[in-house]
A and B are shown apart, each in its own frame.
Chain A
Amino acid sequence: MNKTMMILIVVLLAFPLSVFATGAPEEGGSITLTIAGRDGAYGDAMQLAADEYSKLNPDVSFEILKLSGSSLFEKSVIDMKSGVGTYDLVLIDDPNVTQIQKAGWLADLGAMYDERSISLDSDFIPTLTKLGRYPYSDDGTLYALPLVGNVELFAYRKDLLDKYGLGAPDTWDKVLAAAETLSANEPDIFPVLFRGSKGNPIVTGFLPLFWAFGGSILVDERPAMDSPEALAALEFFLELAQYAPEGVSMYQSAQVKDALYSGKGAMAIEVWPGWIKNLDNPEESAVVGKVIVTKHPAQVEKSSPMIGVWLAGIPEASQKKAAAFDFLQFLTSAEMQAQMADATGIPPTRTSVHGISSLVEKYAWYPAQLDGLRNGVPRPRTNKWKEIEEALGTYLQLALIGEMSAREALEEVNAKIGEIVE
C-alpha cells in the first residue's frame, strides 16, 4: 500500500469525526446569540426585543428558535446536560425550572450582577423572582429572571349574569349557582368552559379550584391527594363540569377561546393573558365590552390563581455568558417589557409596567393580573412535576368522563404520586 493510499484512508477515517467537532467561541467583533425560545406571541416578543437590541448593538445578532413548550424543554435539557453550549439564553416554564436549577445547568445570575456592581431591580414582582431562585426562597441563588408574567385568570359574561340578577362570582359556590341558572335559561350558551384534555390542560383548569378548597398536591414532599379537601374540590369540579360543553374532555385552548370569543361561553374558569388580548377587538370578538376578566373565586381559602411564569436563564455551558447577560438585562427592562406587552400582548413581570396607563386602557385586566401575580400559587417545587402532572391529568380526566368516581380517582392518583416521588 503506497503513501497516497494511507493518506486517503486517514482522511476518510477522520471525516466522520470532524462532523462531531464543535465550533470555537467567537472572539471580539460580531457575536451571535442563540436563544431557545417559544413560538407564538412569545416568539414574536423575543424577535422584537432582539431586533431592537441589534439596532442599538449592531455587532450582536440573534438566532432565535421558536419552539413549542415540549420541544423547547427537550432541546434545552439535552443541550444543557451535554454541556455543548448551543444556547446562550433559554426560556423555561416555571414548574420545570427546579430540576434544571438543581442540576446546576444555569449560570448564577447573582454573581453576574455582583461582577457588574449592579443589583436586581426591585421593580420585578417578588413572587416571580423567587421562582428563579434555588433553593426556592427569598434568598436562594438567582438563576433565572421572570420574562413572561403569565397567571391564570377567570372570565365571565357580565351581561348574562346581570340579566339574571347574579352578582360577581367571587366564590365557587356562586359560580355553580350561576351555571345552574344559565343552564336553565340559556340553552344556546355553555355556562362553564375549561380545558378538559388529558395532562397539563385539565390540571391547570382544576388547580385554582382545588387550592381554593384547601387542597394540596404534596405536603412535605409526600402525596396529599387523599384529603377531604381534595375530595370536596374534585366532587365540586365534576358537578361544575356538568354545565360544560359535551366535548369538554378534549377541549384545548382553541376551543375555550372560540366559545368565549363567539359569545357561546358564559364563564371560563381558566383564561390566560395571551388568550384574551383581543376580547375587546370587534374584528375578532362578538362580546366586546361584555366579558369581565378577574381573579379566581375564593372558597374556604382565598382566590388561588395558578402562576405560570416563563423564566429566562443563561446556560452554564454558554460561551457568551457576558453578552447573554447584557441582552437579558435589556430583555427584562421595563421599557422593553412595555413595548413587548403593547405589540404582542405578553404579560409583563414588573410592577411599573402594570401601571402604564396606555397598557391598562388596552388590557383592562391588568389590575387583576398584577393581583394574581402577587398572590397566585405556583405549582409544587419538585423535580418530578411533569410526571405528577401527567398522572393527575390522567385521573382527573378519567373522573371527568365518568370512568371513575372522584374518590377512586383521588385514591389512584395519590398512590401513583407516591410511586413517583419515592
Chain B
Amino acid sequence: MRTLKTNSRTTFFTLIFLPAIVVVLFLTVYPVLNTIILAFFKYNYLSDERAFIGIRNFLTIGKDTVFQSALLNTILFATVATISEVLLGILLALMFYGEFPGKRPIMITVIFPMMVSTMVICAVWKVLYHYDIGLFNYILRTLGLKPIGWLIDQNKALLSIILVDIWQWTPFAFLVMQAGLSSIPKEVFEASSIDGAGYYRNLFLITLPILSNQILLVVMLRTIDTFRIFGKVYALTQGGPGNSTETISYYIYREGFSYFNLGRASASALYALVIISLIAVFYIKGIMKEEN
C-alpha cells in the first residue's frame, strides 16, 4: 500500500515537472544538438541549400585568416581585460576597506559604469576616442602631443576596446572583492598585527589567500564574459580597421545573421564553445580544489 502511494507520488511529481523539463530541453539541449549537427552541413538558410560535408566547415574556418585573427584577438582581449579588471578590482576593494568620509557617494560613482548599457557606453567612448573631435586627442593636442588613432590605428584599436571593457567591468570585480574582504573578521588582522605583521605581510599572507575563492570566481566569470565580446566591437569598430578587432562572437554573428551560412556559423560557435568549456572546467577545478 505504502509502495503504491510512493509510486503514485513519484509519477505525479514526474508529470508535474514534465512541462518544465520539456521547455528546458527544448530551449537548451535542442539548440546545442542542432548546432552540432549543422556544423557538419553546408547550410545556407536563405537558399535552403543543405549538404553533408563532414568536417569541411571546421577545416575551412580553421584556415580562414579572419577567423584566426578573431581567435587571437579574443584570447588577447579576454586575457588582458580579465587580468586588469581583477587586479584593479582588488586594488579598489583594498582602497575602500575601512571607513572614510564620502565613502558611499564615491562607491556609487565607481560602480556606475557597470549599470549603464553597453551600447550607451560605446556611444560615449566613440566620441571620446574620435580622432578629430574626441576629448582624448583634444587633450593631447593641447599638450602639444601627436593625436592617437584610438580606433583607427590597427595596433591600438583592440587595446582601446579593452580599455572600455576595463572601465565598465572593474566595478564588478571590485564589488565581489569588497564582499569577500568584509567577510574577513577584523580580529584576524588585529592578531597578526600584534604578532608584528605589517600591511604587506597581512595582504599577501592573509587577505589574498582568504580572497582566493572570490578571485578565482571573478576570473572565471570575466574570462567567460570577455571571451564572448560582441557589443563593444559591433558598436565601436565592427571588426576594423582591417581585421584588428575581429572577435569570435562577431565572426559567428556575421556568418549566421549577415550571410545566413548556418553551417559555418555553427562550426565556429562550436570552436568557441569548446574553448569556453575548457576554460570553465579549468577554473571550476581550481575552485573545487580551493574548497577541499
Q: Which A residues form the contact surface with B (CB < 8 A)?
A: 1, 5, 8-9, 12-13, 15-16, 70, 73-74, 77, 81, 99-100, 102-103, 197-199, 245-247, 249-250, 255, 258, 383, 386-387, 390, 394, 397-398, 401, 403
Contacts and interface: CB of A to CB of B under 8 A. Distances in A.
A15 to B, nearest CB: 6
Given A16-B19, A16-B22, A394-B242, A250 B237 contact: yes
Contact of A383 (B18, B47, B151, B237): B47
Contact of B46 (A1, A12, A15, A103): A103
Question: Chain A's interface: helix, strand, loop or mixed, by majority?
Answer: helix
B131 A81 contact: no
Interface of B: 8, 11-12, 15-16, 18-19, 22-23, 45-48, 66, 130-133, 147, 149, 151-152, 154, 237-243, 254, 257-261
A419 to B, nearest CB: 8
A103 B16 contact: no
A9 B258 contact: no
Given A99-B46, A397-B242, A1 B16 contact: no
Contact of B240 (A13, A16, A197): A197
B258 A70 contact: yes
A9 B242 contact: no
A103 B48 contact: yes
A115 to B, nearest CB: 29
Contacts of B154: 401, 403
Contacts of A1: 8, 11-12
Contact of B131 (A77, A100, A250, A398): A250
Question: Chain B's interface: helix, strand, loop or mixed, by majority?
Answer: loop
B149 A246 contact: yes
Nearest to A395: B242
B152 A13 contact: no
A5 B66 contact: no
A258 B131 CA distance: 13
Nearest to A198: B240
Given A103-B46, A386-B259, A390-B254, 18 more contacts: A1-B8, A9-B18, A81-B46, A103-B48, A199-B238, A199-B240, A246-B149, A247-B152, A249-B240, A249-B241, A250-B240, A387-B261, A394-B66, A394-B242, A397-B242, A401-B152, A401-B242, A403-B242
Contacts of B238: 197-199
Contacts of A70: 257-258
Q: Report, nearest first, the 4 A-B pairs whose CB atoms are least far apart.
A: A247-B131, A198-B240, A250-B152, A247-B152
